[in-house]
Amino acid sequence: MCIAERARGQDDVTGFYRHILDRTTEIRSAALQVSLEAKVGDHATSKQEEGEKARAMDEVAQARAAGLDVRVNADNVVVDKRDLLSAGLNTRRTGAHGSRNVLQRVVDARAREAMVAATAANTTRRTATERKRRAEAWQTQMEEREARQAAEAAAEQAALAEKLARRTTNDAVSDARARYLARKAAKQAANDDDEEEDEA
């Protein structure tokens, strides 16, 4: 071997070991950096867990206000007691989907309450409209009845007046006839008296 090859070989071996040492140093410094970040991350993780607990407690309060029986499991996920009993295991679902069913029930319950309130308002409005319509119909019927009774009373009054007028006319005619007959009888009697006087 020539000197140049030896020098190159030594450089290769030295370079190889230098490369291994540099690589080991990089790995150690990265591990040290990760451990330092983990300590800071533990503090951040505990704050994140506290935030998750606070969020979970808010969700529990909302669900309980809606009348649901919910709990927070070990992973700070809000679960319905029925879900725990039906699933058999209290495992964490991926992401925030574990509490989604409970929140969906809360939203559905609120939607049902809003629908019931809207239906009640519509029923009340329809009932009020129906009452108003019935009152107007009753008022119209009463006015028609009063008008019919007034017309019947007026017709009855007219019939009585006509009957009375006929009776008065008949009485007047009867009285006039009686007077005529009385005058005729008086005239006849006067004529008879005159004839008797003329004969006597």
Q: Are 133 and 141 in contact (CB under 8 A)?
A: no
pTM of the model: 0.28
**Mean pLDDT of the region 25-32:** 86
H or E segment to which residue 96 belongs: none
* pLDDT of res. 172: 66
pLDDT tens profile 105-141: 878 888 888 888 888 888 888 888 899 999 999 999 9
The pLDDT confidence band at residue 40, using thresholds 50, 70 and 90, is low
The pLDDT > 70 percentage for the chain reads: 72
* pLDDT of res. 53: 74
Single out the residue of 69, 36, 73, 39 nearest to residue 56, CA to CA. 73
* pLDDT of res. 121: 86
Distance CA(108)–CA(114), nearest Å, equals: 10
The pLDDT > 90 percentage for the chain reads: 13
**Mean pLDDT of the region 84-109:** 62
The pLDDT confidence band at residue 59, using thresholds 50, 70 and 90, is confident
Per-residue H/E/C for 164-185:
HHHHHHHHHHHHHHHHHHHHHH
* Residue-by-residue DSSP string for 68-93: --EEE-TTS-EEEHHHHHHHSS-PPP
Single out the residue of 75, 146, 65, 63 nearest to residue 105, CA to CA. 63
Joined together, the tokens standing for residue 35 give 């451990």
Distance CA(188)–CA(96), nearest Å, equals: 133
* pLDDT of res. 84: 59
**Mean pLDDT of the region 18-34:** 87
Query: Which residue would you say has higher pLDDT here, 67 or 153?
Result: 153
Decide if pLDDT at 101 tops 60: yes
Angle between helix 100-199 and helix 3-65 axes, rounded to 10 deg: 30
Joined together, the tokens standing for residue 153 give 């009373």
Decide if pLDDT at 149 tops 80: yes
Joined together, the tokens standing for residue 195 give 């004839």
